[in-house]
């Protein structure tokens, strides 16, 4: 897919990896729909940067824990931009909660955003994506491929994203490809100190932490070159899953 001039919706694009992915797509000349919920300042700053650089961007607030809002979001983008070619489902929350600590309310918050919103946002985008022969990239997580008991609900939700990617790939074929990127330590929590970062790097076969650009490059590969790839999860973790 040639990305220049096409429309991309990136959810959770006001901060962290979602913001990095949105910026990477804008650098390829895409017209950006920047979704945010709690990160308005980051989303608006990114939109301003894209526009100042000669690109096109618009911000779309929505609480994607509301399934109806998630399903309606792509329609708002189509109304504003006239179409939709790429959907990147990046919005997520990662909370350190073990099995015993996880409340019903915390479970619902995590699973509704990390998994349910991916289903319904993609459902809402399906007609436009089919018309455009578009692409979907879901942001999964290494925690969806190996059990993280300290992040119990998060791990389960991201495992769901991995399976949902396969389901959507079957459902939207042949006109739309659906893949996922599962980052490892490309963007560690801001609260981690130097010692924690060094321990993570030491436990990684490539002996270093990654960078958001590593995950962004995987997304770009799937969009620009992965025309014969669908239903796959591309792990970007420096080999940590091999442990």
Supply φ then ψ for residue 132, to 5 degrees. -95, -5
How far is CA 243 from each of CA 12, 144, 192, 236, 237, rounded to the nearest angstrom?
Answer: 30, 15, 21, 14, 11
The string of pLDDT tens digits covering residues 157-214 is 999 999 999 999 999 999 999 999 999 988 887 778 889 899 989 989 999 999 999 9
Alpha-carbon gap, residue 133 to 1, rounded angstroms? 9
Per-residue confidence band for 216, with pLDDT thresholds at 50, 70 and 90: very high
Q: Which helix (H) or strand (E) holds 75?
A: helix 67-81
pLDDT of residue 56: 98
pLDDT of residue 189: 76
What average pLDDT does this structure show over 2-11? Answer: 98
Per-residue confidence band for 230, with pLDDT thresholds at 50, 70 and 90: very high
pLDDT of residue 203: 87
The string of pLDDT tens digits covering residues 21-68 is 999 999 999 999 999 999 999 999 999 999 999 999 999 999 999 999
The string of pLDDT tens digits covering residues 84-103 is 999 999 999 999 999 999 99
- Tokens 């420096």 locate to 238
Residue 80 token pair: 């504003």
Q: What is the DSSP letter of 204?
A: S
pLDDT of residue 147: 94
What average pLDDT does this structure show over 11-30? Answer: 97
What average pLDDT does this structure show over 219-231? Answer: 97
pLDDT of residue 188: 81
Alpha-carbon gap, residue 26 to 56, rounded angstroms? 8
The answer to whether residue 3 scores a pLDDT higher than 90 is yes
What average pLDDT does this structure show over 224-231? Answer: 97
pLDDT of residue 14: 96
What average pLDDT does this structure show over 102-127? Answer: 98
């Amino acid at each position: 897919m040639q990305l220049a001039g096409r429309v991309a919706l990136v959810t959770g694009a006001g901060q962290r990896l979602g913001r990095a992915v949105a910026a990477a797509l804008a650098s390829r000349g895409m017209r950006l729909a920047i979704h945010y919920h709690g990160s308005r300042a980051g989303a608006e700053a990114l939109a301003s940067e894209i526009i100042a650089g000669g690109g096109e961007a618009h911000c779309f607030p929505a609480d994607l824990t509301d399934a109806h809002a998630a399903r309606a979001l792509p329609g708002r983008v189509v109304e504003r931009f006239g179409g939709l070619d790429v959907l990147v489902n990046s919005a997520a929350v990662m909370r350190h909660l073990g099995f015993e600590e996880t409340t019903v309310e915390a479970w619902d918050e995590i699973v509704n955003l990390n998994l349910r919103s991916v289903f319904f946002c993609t459902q809402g985008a399906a007609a436009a994506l089919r018309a455009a022969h578009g692409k979907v990239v879901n942001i999964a997580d290494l925690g969806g491929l190996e059990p993280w008991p300290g992040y119990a609900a998060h791990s389960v939700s991201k495992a769901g994203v991995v399976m949902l990617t396969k389901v959507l790939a079957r459902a939207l074929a042949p006109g739309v490809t659906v893949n996922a990127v599962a980052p490892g330590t490309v963007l560690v929590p801001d609260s981690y100190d130097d010692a924690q970062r060094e321990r993570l790097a030491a436990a990684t076969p490539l002996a270093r932490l990654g960078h958001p650009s590593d995950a962004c490059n995987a997304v770009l590969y799937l969009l620009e070159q992965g025309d014969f790839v669908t239903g796959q999860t591309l792990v970007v973790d420096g080999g940590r899953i091999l442990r």
